[in-house]
Structures are given as C-alpha cells and as structure tokens.
Structure 1
Amino acid sequence: MARSDELQDALVIPVPEDPGLILDSCRRLLGPNLYGVGPGAVGDCLVNSQEPADVVALWRGNLAPILDALGLAGAKVQTRPFDGGASLFVPAPIDQLFTTAYAIEAAWYFTATGLLGQAQKPFDDLATALRRVSALERQPRLVSLVAEAAKRGVDRLLDDDALTLGHGAGSETWATDRLPEAPDWARLHDIPLALVTGTNGKTTTTRLIAAMGAASGKVAGLSSTEFVKVGDEILDRGDYSGPAGARLLLRDKRLELGVLEVARGGILRRGLPVSRARVAVVTNVAADHLGQYGINTVPDLAQVKLSVRRAVVPGGQLVLNADAPVLVAAADLTDARPIWFSLDASTPQIVRARAQGVPCGWLEDGRVVLSDGAGATSLVAVGDVPLTLGGAARYNIENALAAALAARGLGLPDDAIRSVLRNFRSDPVDNPGRANEFSVNGARVFVDFAHNPHSIAAVTSALAALPARRRFALISHAGDRSDADIRALTQGLFALKPDTVVVAEITAYLRGRQTGEIPALIRQASRECGLPDDHILSATSPLDGAKQIVERLEPGDLALLLVHDERAAIFEMLGSRISS
C-alpha cells in the first residue's frame, strides 16, 4: 500500500499545453458531492477551439477502454456541460480515487493529442502504468471497514493518510497503514451533526446552532471560516470551512454535538467531509466566486450548495430558505424534501408545509414562529433577539429561523433555542466580524466582514434603517475581484447613504493588482454614486482608515467598517475608545 505522497507522484501524463484545449482541474471527491452520494474523481475541461460537446464526447469515448482496463467498466460516468467546457465525473471505490483521477487525465491526453494531431504514447503502455497505480492504491481493509460502518449506520471521515469511524465522543482514528482487523463497533457511533452552507449567513447560523447545543448541556463544537472550537476551547484559527476543519473537529473525543460550516470550494474540491448528518442548512444563494470548476451561474451554485442534502440521514432534515427564489427553483429540480423558513407566513412553501403537516418556520407579527407539523410555537419576539437590531437586520431573522429549525432537528429543546436567541449578541465574543457594535464618542460603530454584493447590501440596508446624524463608511477590497465586481460591491455600500467614505488599501490582498488600483476603482464608483471628491478619503490600511473615521465621530453619528484585514487591531483600537 502506497502513501498519498507516493500516489500523487506515481504517474506523469504529458497532457498537451494548448490554449484551446485545457484540462483545467482533475481532483478526487472523498464524500457526497455535486454528482452523487458516493466518492469519485472529476475533471474540468475548457474548450474554445472546438465544439465543446464534440470534445467531451470524444473524451468520454477515450475514457471507456481505460476504465475497462482497470476493471471499472461499470462506473456510471456523468458529464456536466457549462459555457466553454464541461466536467466529467467517474464514481470510484474509496481506494481507487487517485487511479480514477489519473484515468480521467489519461483519457484527456488521448483526446487532446488526437485533436491536435500530436504523437501519442501506446495505449497499452499507459494502461499498464495505470494498473500499477491501481495496485499501489488498493486497500481492501479500508474498503471493508467503510462498508461495514455504512451497514451499521456509522459515518467515516477520510483523508489521505487516516480513517475515522464515528464522530467526536463516538469516534476512533487510525492511520490507513495500521487499520484494525475488527474495531470495537460497540464504542463507535455518530453524534448529532449539522451541516451549514450558503452564500451568506452560514457562519452566524453555525455559531447559533453550536451555542444552542451548549445551552442544552452538550459539549458542542463547530468548524468555520474563523476557527475550530470545542466547548470553550479554540483548537485552531483560520479558514476551516473545508474538510480539514471537519476532521479536526470530529476527531475530538470530547465532542457531543457538532456543526460544520461547509463552503462551496470544499464541496467542489473534495466533496462533503461526512456522509451522515442529521441536519443540513442552506441559508441562501447569491452570486459569489463564480467561474471556478465550471460553476458559472447562480443556479449552478445553488446545485453545489444543495449537495449537502446527500449527507442527510433518513429521517433527517434539510432546512432551506423559501425567500431565496434561486434556491426554491433548484430544490424543485432535486429529490429534496425541505423544511422551509421564510420572513412571510404567506410564502407558498410555508402555506403548503402547514397544510401538509410538514415542519417549517416563519416570521409573524414580529415573532419567530416554528411548526413541528402538528402545532405552531411562537418562540420569541424579534425585538428580544439582539442579532436583529430590533428587526432592522432581517438577514439575521433568517439566520435565527434557520438555526432554530436546525436545532430542533438535532433534538434540542425550545428552552435552549429561545435562550440563545435572546442572549447571543453581535459582538467580538459571540459573533466576531458580523455587525459587531461599539459605542465611540457617543456614536455607533459597526464592524462587519461582508465581502460580496449580497452580504454588503444586507448589512447596509439594516444599518440604513437606524437613525444617525452623519454616516461614515470604511471600504476596501481584495484584488481577485473583477472591476465590475468591485464597482458592484461599492454601489452596495451606498444603501447606507454615507456622508463620508474612507477607501483603504489592503497590501496583503493585492492578488496580482498594482498598489492603488483597487482604491482608484472604489473612488470612481463612489463618485458615480454621487459622493463629492472631498468626502472620499484615502487610507494606507484598514486600521488607518478606521482611525480616521473614529477621529471624526461625534455623538449621534454612525459608522460601518467593512474589514477584511487587521480586524484584531481594529477591535483593540475601538475597545480602547468605548464610550462610558
């Protein structure tokens, strides 16, 4: 049995480098994914010199004899066309994922060289090399353990060199070269687990559900874009919204209830990190990070997010936002049976759910209402939920509804759910980076991590409803956004109706741009929104920009600091100036 680093370098296939025929990505999916419930490998091609459909048909045709040579002829290959190319997915056993990825690459090699009229290696030579990789990768004990776990209703977590069966307090982990003959199955079990995805709101919803678990007496934990946390201990900081965060969390034996924030990138690169969860939540879907892995449209993105449904166990719950039309449309195209939530009791999905006795949640007369399918419970007044800023932050009413339904799906009591909604705050302790409020010089200052048009529009619309004498805003962007994206993000800021905008450079996030390029685009967009030049200020960094705003604040003012860098320093600076 070979180690993963050996398998990664086991075979070099000389794929042609031609701008008209590009194998853009080839990767292993270890868990449920966009294409199905099982693991496999997927490749993405970009084609601009041929008819893409013809190229993909040839690619698939070249793959067939390769799979046959590897004993995988029965694999149900899927293709997913997109503008300018297509993805090709091959389901595979968990101990043949490297081999299958190489097979996809080899099929592309024969496709591209054939179309370009280039000399080709003999098929038999490549087939022999692929069979050698297959033999190196084969791990029958791994396959049998995972199959037995599935029969017993026990989840598995895979990475390149370790296997975990069960979750948290019910888990055991072994190196893949030291797998047991027969584990103690009586000790292995899953724990209540929720998956949370969406374009915006997923971090707040993840934190709320974990807090509800803790309030019910469980040792609760979460993985997220900020950190991995078990109980009160932060295991590590960083963006852990992918499979690495899930493994770090679910391998901690103290854990009794888990919540995984699941990002688009992780789903597309490696599939879902788990195959069994009691609840999955999709908060919303909006344009963000389009153009990667052939996901070019918002409906495409909705299907990626809905991949979480494939991990929900029988009797589990898929919680979806009925106020997101693209999500409603995408769900209609799947086998999903959602638990819907909405800010309007008359939304068709809510009306239908109540008539059919299906659980759901909605906002009615200023209160969060949940139905278990039999009766409705008026859970809490929105005015008593600090996250909602007295109801102005409607996006956080949605997050509260999603979290409350998910918590019920995990078996948590209403008292714990209600308590968290009444006490969880938008501050650096409970919800860092999400509309965190400070009082400085008699002014209200909000710090938020909003970074796409949907999230910026949500927070600025909420804060625009708050009274203010003057309004200030700090804005900056990373360089990997297009010019159009940066203009759209800036335009979204103007729902706040700012009197003064401070534009900050983020030198750590230039990402190929020249210094001053992003601020120039923001300044121009601000002028186009009607702000005079003398009300558009420049800052060398987010911290510098925050200081400039703070120095100008007077009682009755309001400031929104959109912060992507130096957040800890900005929190410290604001904390030292809090009004008594």
Structure 2
Amino acid sequence: LDICGVDVVCEGVHRPLEETGGGIVEVNAAPGLRMHLAPSYGKPRAVGEAIIDLMYAPGDNGRIPVAAVAGTNGKTTTVRLIAHMLHQHGLRIGMTTTDGVYVNGQMIDDGDCSGPKSARNVLLHPDVDAAVFETARGGILREGLGFDHCDVAVVTNIGAGDHLGLNYINLRHNGATVIADYGHNPDAMVALAEAVERIATGKRVVVISGAGDRRDEDIRRQTEILGGTFDEVILYQDACQRGRADGEVIGLLRQGLVGASRVRHVEAIDGEFIAIDRGLERLATGDLCLVLIDQVQEALAHLKARCSG
C-alpha cells in the first residue's frame, strides 16, 4: 500500500500523540480528497498533486507502451505474437482480442472484445505494463478508438491475405476430422476451402453462420465459395445479429448456395451448439467437418466435450 488516509483525534499535530492523549481512529486504503481540497474549516491542501508526485517521477506522463492491430485477417494471431514478445521481456501484458480480454495471461472477460471499451478496461487496469489491442473496424466506426495514441500500429491486410484463424484447432470425432475456426469473410473462406481440398478424403460438412455487420454480397460470397468444396451445409444464426433482422443472415447464406456445384444437403438450425451437434451427427469415419464458430470460448469447450483427441 503506497497511499492511505490516516484519521487522527488529537488536540494538535505539533506534538506526538502520546504526549497529548491522541490516537489513530482509522487507516483508510481509499481515502477521499474533498475534505482536504475544500475543507469546511482551515486551509485547503493540494493532496492530489502530492499523490501524483509520489507515484510518478518528474517528466513521467504515466503512459504505457501501446500496440494496435487492424486488418481483415490475422489480427488475433498477430496480437498474440506481439503480446508474447513483450512478455518475454518481463512486462505484464494487457491484451484484447475477438475471443476475450487478457491481463498477464489470465482471461478477465470473454467474447468479442476488440472494441474501444475493452481497450479502455485494459488501460485502466493497475497490473498492466504494456497493452496490445485488436482494433476491429466495427468498433472504430461506432465509437472510435479506446486510446489517443499508440506506439506501434499494424495493418495485417485489407481484403486479401492468408487467414490464420485460431491456430487450426483440430479434433477427432468417431474417426472423423473436426476443424474449428473463426473465419468470417470471403478471404478466410478461400483459405479454408483450399486447406480442406488438400486434407479431406471422405464427405465434407461445414457448420457456418454469418456476421450481420458485413455487406450482403460478402455474406453471400462466403457460401458461394464453400459451395464448391462441401457436400453438406449446416446454417445457424449468430448470438448477436449486429443490426440484422431475425433470419436475414441465414437467408443471405442460402442465396449464396444457389447453384452450388457440390452441395447435396442444406439445413438451418436454431442455436450454435445444436448446429454443431447436428454437424457431428452426420459424420462417419474418414469424413471432415469444418465448424465456423461464433461464441469462441463456449463453442470450443462444447466441441472438446463432444470430441476426443
């Protein structure tokens, strides 16, 4: 504890308490400053300035190093790489990504945390020496950035580029291969389709939803691409529609499958986990299922509980 408030009852502070019969009433770890800045009686004291002078050396502005990562694909992976490098230098890292907020390796919030509110939460955290932020375009358009300056800015790509995903999470289910990824745009679909073409030997199943804040043509394009690679398509609706009407995104995904060269079966399921289970049910030994997840941590936990290896 560097700063505390000490409440004293005594005749005066010019002599030791033992001599005046005074005593300490309370030691407060979070003292208020108003009574010192604007006392009802006596001279105001600039205690706030004294506290800041104690906490920061002359010339120190209290800022920490900040890195921000934007782009179409690979943001989360790049954030993790930068955070790892900073951690190797002994710094305590605060990190925001589309799967959560992390401080010193511990998740303090889950879900899509790539917006300005999550960045501000990291900057306000007392145990952070350096911050690395995934900065998605949606949050920038809605509220701007959660910081006024960054030391390093990374733009991974715009529109085209390799999709790095969630480290290619591979599972096994009754002799079939299950791949979980967070692909959410046409470029990611191209990369994933190419990977599936290389490794699949049996039937191919994909479980997919679409982000509502994308353009109609981008949502349709995702299933247009996958329609030439997969035999069966299980559609589901994201937990957050991001401004879309109920069922609108699934309708656009269906439009993208019109005329698909390979698809033999399409169905829409209400609920991500139920859709995942439906995809797994349709697998036999040697088949492959690609699951494009929405609720990252929850979906991965559900998959790992259902799959072995």
* Counterpart contact for 2:163–2:187, Cα < 8 Å: no
Is 1:239 aligned to 2:129, yes or no? no
RMSD, matched Cα = 3.1
* Counterpart contact for 1:478–1:511, Cα < 8 Å: no
Structure 1 partner of 2:3: none
* Counterpart contact for 1:194–1:259, Cα < 8 Å: yes
Q: Which amino acid aligns with 1:206?
A: V
Among 500, 503, 506, the residue aligned to 2:232 = 500
Provide the rounded CA distance (Å) in 2 between the counterparts of 1:547 and 1:205. 31
Report SS of the residue matched to 1:464: helix
Deviation at 1:520, TM superposition (A): 4.1
Change (3 A) 1:482 1:245: closer
Deviation at 1:457, TM superposition (A): 2.3
Is 1:449 aligned to 2:148, yes or no? no
Among 154, 157, 172, the residue aligned to 1:439 = 172
Provide the rounded CA distance (Å) in 2 between the counterparts of 1:504 and 1:458. 21
Deviation at 1:258, TM superposition (A): 1.8
Counterparts of 1:56-95 in structure 2 under 5 Å?
A: none
Is 1:558 aligned to 2:291, yes or no? no
Is 1:201 aligned to 2:88, yes or no? no
Structure 2 partner of 1:263: 136
Q: Which amino acid aligns with 2:155?
A: V
Structure 2 partner of 1:529: 260
* Counterpart contact for 2:73–2:157, Cα < 8 Å: yes
How big is each residue's C-alpha offset from its partner over 1:177-226, in whole Å with a ceiling of 9 and x where there is no partner? x9955732416443333111112211221122112322443222212233
Report SS of the residue matched to 2:217: helix
Report SS of the residue matched to 2:69: strand
Counterparts of 1:182-221 in structure 2 under 5 Å?
A: 183-184=52-53, 185-186=56-57, 188-221=61-94
Deviation at 1:284, TM superposition (A): 0.7
**Which has the bigger relative contact order, CA under 8 A and spacing at least 6?**
2
Is 1:227 aligned to 2:100, yes or no? yes
Is 1:284 aligned to 2:15, yes or no? no
Q: Which amino acid aligns with 1:578?
A: C
Is 1:547 aligned to 2:280, yes or no? no
Provide the rounded CA distance (Å) in 2 between the counterparts of 1:513 and 1:245. 26
Q: Which of 263-272 and 443-452 deviates more?
A: 263-272
Unaligned residue ranges in structure 1 (runs of 5+): 1-173, 287-322, 325-393, 397-425
The list of structure 1 runs, each at least 4 consecutive aligned residues, that deviate by more than 6 angstroms after superposition, is none
Change (3 A) 1:477 1:441: same
Provide the rounded CA distance (Å) in 1 between the counterparts of 2:233 and 2:307. 22
Report SS of the residue matched to 2:125: coil
Report SS of the residue matched to 1:459: helix
Among 513, 517, 529, the residue aligned to 2:245 = 513
Report SS of the residue matched to 2:224: helix
Q: Which amino acid aligns with 1:574?
A: L
Provide the rounded CA distance (Å) in 2 between the counterparts of 1:523 and 1:231. 43
Change (3 A) 1:531 1:463: closer
Among 201, 215, 219, the residue aligned to 1:468 = 201
Report SS of the residue matched to 1:502: strand
Provide the rounded CA distance (Å) in 1 between the counterparts of 2:114 and 2:246. 30
How big is each residue's C-alpha offset from its partner over 1:260-313, in whole Å with a ceiling of 9 and x where there is no partner? 112224444554433443321100112xxxxxxxxxxxxxxxxxxxxxxxxxxx
Change (3 A) 1:223 1:569: closer
Provide the rounded CA distance (Å) in 1 between the counterparts of 2:136 and 2:259. 34
- TM-score, reference length from structure 2: 0.71
Among 271, 288, 304, the residue aligned to 1:575 = 304
Change (3 A) 1:512 1:240: closer
Change (3 A) 1:560 1:179: farther
* Counterpart contact for 2:69–2:153, Cα < 8 Å: yes
Bigger helix fraction = 1
Aligned pairs, how many? 260
Unaligned residue ranges in structure 2 (runs of 5+): 1-32, 34-45
Provide the rounded CA distance (Å) in 1 between the counterparts of 2:47 and 2:241. 43
Report SS of the residue matched to 2:170: strand
Deviation at 1:554, TM superposition (A): 2.5
How big is each residue's C-alpha offset from its partner over 1:86-127, in whole Å with a ceiling of 9 and x where there is no partner? xxxxxxxxxxxxxxxxxxxxxxxxxxxxxxxxxxxxxxxxxx
Counterparts of 1:106-145 in structure 2 under 5 Å?
A: none
Change (3 A) 1:463 1:212: farther
Change (3 A) 1:280 1:441: same
Identity score, percent = 36
Among 122, 125, 141, the residue aligned to 1:249 = 122
- TM-score, reference length from structure 1: 0.40
Q: Which amino acid aligns with 2:307?
A: I
Change (3 A) 1:200 1:529: same
Provide the rounded CA distance (Å) in 1 between the counterparts of 2:95 and 2:146. 14
Provide the rounded CA distance (Å) in 2 between the counterparts of 1:240 and 1:542. 19
